[in-house]
Amino acid sequence: VPEIIHCNDWQTACIPLFLNTHYANDDVLKKSKSILTIHNVGYQGVFGKEVLGLLQLSEELFNPENIEFFGKVNLLKAGIVNADNLVTVSKKYAQEIQEPEYGYDLAPIFKKYNQKLSGILNGVDYEHWNPETDDFIPYKYSIHNLTGKQKCKKTLKNFYGLKNENVPIIGCISRLTYQKGIDILINTLDWLFFDEKEVQFVIVGSGEQWIVDRFEALRAMFPDRIGVWWGYNEKLAHLIEAGSDFYVMPSRYEPSGLNQMYSLAYGTIPIVRATGGLDDSIEQFDENLKTGNGFKYKNNDSAELYTTIRHALRVYKNKVIMNKLINNAMLFKRSWDDTAKEYEELYNTISQNN
- Cβ–Cβ < 8 Å for 13, 41: no
Same domain, 176 and 273: yes
* Residue range 112-160, pLDDT digits in tens: 999 999 999 999 999 999 999 999 999 999 999 999 999 999 999 999 9
59-63, 182-186, 228-232, 280-284: segment of lowest average pLDDT: 59-63
Same domain, 200 and 314: yes
Domain residues for 286? 147-331
Same domain, 179 and 112: no
Q: How far apart are CA 294 and CA 284, in angstroms?
A: 5
Query: Is residue 297 assigned to a domain?
Result: yes
Structural domains in the chain (count)? 2
Query: Is residue 233 assigned to a domain?
Result: yes
Query: Is residue 257 assigned to a domain?
Result: yes
Q: CB-side exposure of 123: number of CA atoms within 13 Å?
A: 15
User: Above pLDDT 70, what percent of the chain?
Assistant: 100
* Residue range 188-209, pLDDT digits in tens: 999 999 999 999 999 999 999 9
Mean pLDDT of 254-267: 98
User: Above pLDDT 90, what percent of the chain?
Assistant: 94
* Residue range 50-59, pLDDT digits in tens: 999 999 998 8
Residue 94 sits in a domain of what CATH number? 3.40.50.2000
Q: How far apart are CA 335 and CA 338, in angstroms?
A: 5
Helix (H, G, I), strand (E, B) or coil at 292: coil
* Residue range 14-70, pLDDT digits in tens: 999 999 999 999 999 999 999 999 999 999 999 999 999 999 998 889 999 999 999
Q: What's the pLDDT band for 339 if we cut at 50, 70, 90? A: very high
Same domain, 14 and 114: yes
Same domain, 248 and 347: no
Query: Is residue 141 assigned to a domain?
Result: no
**Looking at per-residue confidence, does 131 or 351 come out higher?**
131
Same domain, 195 and 308: yes
Per-residue pLDDT, 1: 78
Query: Is residue 90 assigned to a domain?
Result: yes
Per-residue pLDDT, 353: 80
Torsion of CA 77, 81, 84, 87, to 10 degrees: 40
Same domain, 95 and 228: no
Which residue type occupies 14? C
Got the DSSP string for 141-190? -BTTB-HHHHHHHHHHHHHHT---TTS-EEEEEEEESTTTTHHHHHHHHH
Query: Is residue 186 assigned to a domain?
Result: yes
The DSSP secondary-structure symbol of 124 reads B
Instruction: Say if residue 165's pLDDT is above 90.
Output: no
Same domain, 74 and 52: yes
- Interior CA angle at 24 toward 46 and 86, to 5°? 50
Q: Which of 276, 289, 284, 292 is closest to 326 using CA atoms?
A: 292
**Dihedral of CA 152/153/159/164: which sign?**
negative
CA dist list (Å): 89 to 81, 118, 130, 178, 281: 19, 9, 22, 20, 12
**Dihedral of CA 173/177/179/181: which sign?**
positive
Mean pLDDT of 279-306: 97
Instruction: Say if residue 354's pLDDT is above 80.
Output: no
Same domain, 93 and 233: no
